[in-house]
Structure 1
Amino acid sequence: MSSERLIYLPLGGAGEIGMNAYVYGYGPKDKERLILVDLGVTFPDMDTTPGVDLIMPDISWLEERKNQLEAIFITHAHEDHVGAVGHLYERLGAPVYARAFTANIARHKMGEYGYSESVVRTASAWPEQITVGPFKVGFVPISHSIPESSGLVIDTPRGRIVHSGDFKIDETPVVGEPFDRDLWASIGASGVHALMCDSTNVFSNHEGRSEATLRPNLEELISNASGMVVATTFASNIARLKSLAEAGQAAGRSICLLGRAMRRMVEAGTQTGILTDFPKTITAEDARDVPRENLMLIVTGSQGERRAASAQLANGKYLGLQMKEGDTFLFSSKTIPGNERGVIRIMNQFSEMGVDVIDDAGGLYHVSGHANRPDLLEMHKLVNPDIVVPMHGEHRHLREHVKLAKERGAEAIVAVNGMLIDLSGAGPNVAEYVDTGRTYLDGSVQIGALDGIVRDRIRMALNGHIVVTVILDEDDDPLGEPWCELRGLPEMGRNNAPLVDVLEEDLSQFMGRAGAKTLTDDDKLEEGLKRQARQTAQAEIGKKPEVTVIISRLS
């Protein structure tokens, strides 16, 4: 029996939607040559990750084996697939391969961290393959909601793997390559050992709709609007940007793009030749002089992001532009689960201004970029794999996708982040479990999810904070009374006295009772002051705040 094995290890994107990072390896156990597919981010929220800027996969396992890593392959330019490349590249150091549009975006991210453009190498589409170690990897065009999306064919000594990437079956995608059934059937005809497949829309039983079906609905909506029209969508959905801009142009409106990410995507599309006939746009400064009924803004912030253009307009003026009664705001997008609160907040802010807010509850102004259940079934039939391993989905999506695959007679397994799957045999097996977590970008510093920093931040937010300061003289006797500073706590307690006064009185009494063993030992004194402060706060306000004790000794 061969001592070499074929492995698959998701570090992100399996058991969740976002933060994609998938490792493939071939070789002797623990000495496999490795490749990484995608290196993405997910986004924080104030409830679980307050103050965090981005969330990235924990690549510690891969970093420990960086001398075994041959290359990084990026399937497409969505942030959840490419967003962590610049942040984490230094820890991996392998060359990055992507097709032209994605490479343009990746180079821009690398440039922000001072890396050479040569780190990112532009790959051609299938049938060209890139040989790295024991792998031959080809980028196969596939339709999605961003141009030049690719599935990957990964040929290994053990057989062919197909990594679908994010996809849908769309033969008229407006921008980008249509889904080519004959191409994918030919890939399957050569024999596919394992298919790693998008699972996002496995519960949707309706056939997916093409991007091209939206244009008439958008034109009708915009042409019938009386005031200014503002539309938001995912900045990376260039096809939607084009459809919106063309619909606005057909209605006789000047088009203005607001938001750096949106302008960057259009710029990348133009530079790589994907966008050759995007309608002419005007600057925000020029837009201020256009009559409202002749103006259309296409803006960032479809997910309620606080700093994006949508939220800025909802808060008042943005770059001199302002929403008014009679205007129309269109969400040409689906709200990602978890973002509902931010989106609804913006909707209500606009409603209070008298703006007509239109979302996509009726399916008229947005189509998903992911394969619905019928599309997944068709991909299974075209590729005809021996093994299916679902990815890109929450656990419920992966489990349902496994049922779908088994109904067709394929071997299948639920593999979530940290499960190292051995694909060497006829079926998939869990070989081991790898510790995986998350890396937070907190300002300009990367921190671990288990470092306790965010945990402490949440505890302070939930419980408030007390700073207790005491001074002791040369004889270890208190010099004056302790004093307190409060943050995030009510001023008055149950006894209708200022909370700070009650705390300082109880702490002063504690200091008076403390013996020499406590007063001469900083650790014991700190522990006692914390305990007293929390007991007093619990009695006065029903909370046990976080307490910081500062002990100063005169020498």
Structure 2
Amino acid sequence: MSNERIIYLPLGGAGEIGMNCYVYGYGAPGEERLIVVDLGVAFPDMDTSPGVDIIFADISWLEKNRDRIEAVFITHAHEDHVGAVGHCFERLGVKVYARAFTANLARQKLAEYGYSEDTVQTCSKWPETVTAGPFTVGFLPISHSIPESSALVIDTPAGRLVHTGDFKLDHEPLVGEAFDPELWAEVSASGVKAMICDSTNVFNEHEGRSESELGPNIEELISAAPQMVVATTFASNVARVKTLADAGVKAGRSICLLGRAMRRMIEAAIETGVLVDFPRVVSPEEAVEIPRENLMLIVTGSQGERRAASAQLSRGKYNGIELKEGDLFLFSSKTIPGNEKEVIRIMNNFSERGVDVVDDAGGKYHVSGHANGPDLARLQDIVQPQIVVPMHGEHRHLRQHVKLAEQKGRTGVLAVNGMMIDLSGNVPTVAEWIEAGRTYLDGSVQIGALDGIVRDRIRMALNGHVLVTVILDEDDEPLGEPWCELRGLPETGRSNAALVEVLEEDLNQFMGRAGDKTLTDDDKLEEGLRRIVRNTSQNEIGKKPEVTVVISRLS
């Protein structure tokens, strides 16, 4: 019996929504040839990752096995699937495969790091395929909220796998390819060993809605608006951007796109032929000369991003344009969990300016790009996989998706980041556990989530900081008194004296009592000074701050 096996290893996206990164392998244990599916990012928040720019999967295991990797395949151009390709390419060094629209955006990301266009290979849709070692991979069209989304049909010597990517069952997506059940049935007719499937909306019990349903509602809203209209949505949702623009034109308005990502997405869609008949747009310079009642802006920042156009407009002028009382601002998007505070802040900023804000609470102006529970069940019925492996979801989503598979008489596997699954036999098994952490892009530097840098940043934010400086002379005697500098702490405490003076007095007393063993040993001296600061601060203000001690010795 052959000892070769198929493995599936999620490094990101299984146990969370976002940061997608999946590995497939075929071969003898420990010697499998590998392909990587998606290299995506997640976005930070001030509570858990302050100051961080973006987050992506820890690819240390892939880097260690770099000589076994055949290729990287990108399912679609959302940031949580392609956003890390530029940050990771040097460490992996293999060719990237994607369809035209996704390839266009991936090349832009790689160009920022100086890589040539040849790094990304543009692929055609199924039935054309790419051979990568023991794998034959084809891009199977599926509808989503961005053009040219594709599932991957992954053929191995031990059976066919289908990796759905993100998807919905939309028969009229307006832009991009409609879901084709006959094609999917044809692809699945020869048998599918495992379907690795999007789980984002598994809890929604209603069938998903089509993008084509939104046009009349949006047109009615914009036509009734008396003054300037501004709408925000995901820049990658090209179909929605077109729906908004078409509605604005029908209402007699000029269209202006604000935000780099918005312009880049529309340009890429036009360049690659997935978007046709997009209305003419005006520049921001032209927009300021147009009467307000004849202008519509389509802007970035639907998730409350501080530097995006929506947030900047909510704080004042942006590119010379300012919203005023009676203007209309439409959120044609769903707020991703975790972004609520930022979005509500923008809404309140607009409200204070007298701007009327319309969100999607009633479902009139947004539909999801992900399959709901009944849609997931329908796709299982079409594909008839032997095994269902949920991905792209928090643990609760994956668990519910396993239940859905088992209700339909199929084997479901709950695999989270770092859990390597052997799919070779009739019953999947856990083959190995891999360390699957996170990498932070902090400015221009990549750091590990467990390196302690962000942890220290959080601790300083929570507790404040005290810098203590002492000088000792050639005889290891204190030269003058210790002094402190405080950051993020109250000026006075329980004693009603200045906190800095109380700290310096207690530190001076400590230095006066300290013996030679302490004064000649930097480690002991630092430990004692830190303890005094923390204990005194606890008594004065009820907090133990972070402490940095600088000891200078004159030689």
Q: TM-score, normalising length from structure 1?
A: 1.00
State the alpha-carbon separation in 1 of the partners of residues 146 and 99 from structure 2.
12
Q: Counterpart in 2 of 1:360?
A: 360
Matches within 5 A, 1:149-548: 149-548=149-548
Alignment partner of 2:193: what SS? strand
Does the 8 Å contact 1:22/1:36 carry over to 2? yes
The Cα of 1:388 is off from its aligned counterpart by: 0.3
State the alpha-carbon separation in 2 of the partners of residues 275 and 255 from structure 1.
16
Per-residue deviation, residues 208-260 of structure 1 (Å, max 9, x unmatched): 11101100000000000011100000010000000000000000000000000
Per-residue deviation, residues 369-399 of structure 1 (Å, max 9, x unmatched): 0001111111101110000000011111111
Letter in 2 for 1:137: V
The Cα of 1:275 is off from its aligned counterpart by: 1.4
State the alpha-carbon separation in 1 of the partners of residues 361 and 427 from structure 2.
41
Does the 8 Å contact 1:98/1:121 carry over to 2? yes
State the alpha-carbon separation in 1 of the partners of residues 406 and 173 from structure 2.
31
Q: Counterpart in 2 of 1:70?
A: 70
Alignment partner of 2:214: what SS? helix
Q: Counterpart in 2 of 1:41?
A: 41
Per-residue deviation, residues 141-174 of structure 1 (Å, max 9, x unmatched): 1000000000000000110000000000011101
Alignment partner of 2:42: what SS? coil
Does the 8 Å contact 1:146/1:176 carry over to 2? yes
State the alpha-carbon separation in 2 of the partners of residues 514 and 235 from structure 1.
63
Q: Counterpart in 1 of 2:23?
A: 23
The Cα of 1:274 is off from its aligned counterpart by: 1.1
Letter in 2 for 1:384: Q
State the alpha-carbon separation in 2 of the partners of residues 54 and 453 from structure 1.
15
State the alpha-carbon separation in 2 of the partners of residues 359 and 396 from structure 1.
27
Alignment partner of 1:471: what SS? strand
Alignment partner of 1:376: what SS? helix
State the alpha-carbon separation in 2 of the partners of residues 520 and 426 from structure 1.
69
State the alpha-carbon separation in 2 of the partners of residues 511 and 52 from structure 1.
39
State the alpha-carbon separation in 2 of the partners of residues 81 and 413 from structure 1.
22
The Cα of 1:365 is off from its aligned counterpart by: 0.2
The Cα of 1:432 is off from its aligned counterpart by: 1.4
The Cα of 1:190 is off from its aligned counterpart by: 1.2
State the alpha-carbon separation in 2 of the partners of residues 510 and 542 from structure 1.
21
Letter in 2 for 1:418: G
Matches within 5 A, 1:3-14: 3-14=3-14
Runs of 4+ in 1 over 2 A off after TM superposition: none
State the alpha-carbon separation in 1 of the partners of residues 149 and 98 from structure 2.
10
- 2:166 corresponds to 1:129: no
State the alpha-carbon separation in 1 of the partners of residues 157 and 139 from structure 2.
19
Letter in 2 for 1:387: I
- 2:111 corresponds to 1:111: yes
State the alpha-carbon separation in 2 of the partners of residues 360 and 28 from structure 1.
51
Letter in 1 for 2:243: S
State the alpha-carbon separation in 2 of the partners of residues 124 and 217 from structure 1.
35
State the alpha-carbon separation in 1 of the partners of residues 249 and 126 from structure 2.
36
Alignment partner of 1:385: what SS? coil
Per-residue deviation, residues 169-196 of structure 1 (Å, max 9, x unmatched): 0111010001101000001111000000
Per-residue deviation, residues 127-146 of structure 1 (Å, max 9, x unmatched): 01111110000000100000
State the alpha-carbon separation in 2 of the partners of residues 226 and 47 from structure 1.
40
State the alpha-carbon separation in 1 of the partners of residues 62 and 438 from structure 2.
13
State the alpha-carbon separation in 2 of the partners of residues 427 and 401 from structure 1.
18
Q: Counterpart in 2 of 1:95?
A: 95
Per-residue deviation, residues 9-60 of structure 1 (Å, max 9, x unmatched): 0000001000000000000000000000000000000000000000000001
State the alpha-carbon separation in 1 of the partners of residues 334 and 430 from structure 2.
35
State the alpha-carbon separation in 2 of the partners of residues 520 and 480 from structure 1.
17
Does the 8 Å contact 1:228/1:295 carry over to 2? yes
Extract unaligned runs of 5+ from structure 2: none
The Cα of 1:509 is off from its aligned counterpart by: 0.3
Does the 8 Å contact 1:412/1:427 carry over to 2? no
Alignment partner of 1:484: what SS? strand
State the alpha-carbon separation in 2 of the partners of residues 447 and 124 from structure 1.
36
Alignment partner of 2:209: what SS? coil
State the alpha-carbon separation in 1 of the partners of residues 386 and 274 from structure 2.
36
Does the 8 Å contact 1:234/1:333 carry over to 2? yes
The Cα of 1:205 is off from its aligned counterpart by: 1.0
State the alpha-carbon separation in 2 of the partners of residues 464 and 311 from structure 1.
29
The Cα of 1:282 is off from its aligned counterpart by: 0.5
The Cα of 1:267 is off from its aligned counterpart by: 0.6
Alignment partner of 1:173: what SS? coil
State the alpha-carbon separation in 1 of the partners of residues 409 and 502 from structure 2.
71
The Cα of 1:336 is off from its aligned counterpart by: 0.3
Letter in 1 for 2:126: W
State the alpha-carbon separation in 2 of the partners of residues 445 and 263 from structure 1.
28
The Cα of 1:429 is off from its aligned counterpart by: 1.1
Does the 8 Å contact 1:412/1:428 carry over to 2? no
Does the 8 Å contact 1:44/1:54 carry over to 2? yes
Alignment partner of 1:381: what SS? helix
Letter in 2 for 1:360: D
Q: Counterpart in 1 of 2:82?
A: 82
Alignment partner of 1:192: what SS? coil
Alignment partner of 1:160: what SS? strand
Extract unaligned runs of 5+ from structure 1: none
The Cα of 1:431 is off from its aligned counterpart by: 1.2
The Cα of 1:413 is off from its aligned counterpart by: 1.0
State the alpha-carbon separation in 1 of the partners of residues 60 and 145 from structure 2.
31
Letter in 2 for 1:442: D
Alignment partner of 1:185: what SS? helix
Letter in 2 for 1:496: N
Does the 8 Å contact 1:26/1:32 carry over to 2? yes
State the alpha-carbon separation in 2 of the partners of residues 94 and 331 from structure 1.
39
State the alpha-carbon separation in 2 of the partners of residues 143 and 190 from structure 1.
23
State the alpha-carbon separation in 2 of the partners of residues 287 and 513 from structure 1.
72
Does the 8 Å contact 1:161/1:195 carry over to 2? yes
Alignment partner of 1:281: what SS? coil
The Cα of 1:428 is off from its aligned counterpart by: 1.4
State the alpha-carbon separation in 1 of the partners of residues 236 and 194 from structure 2.
30
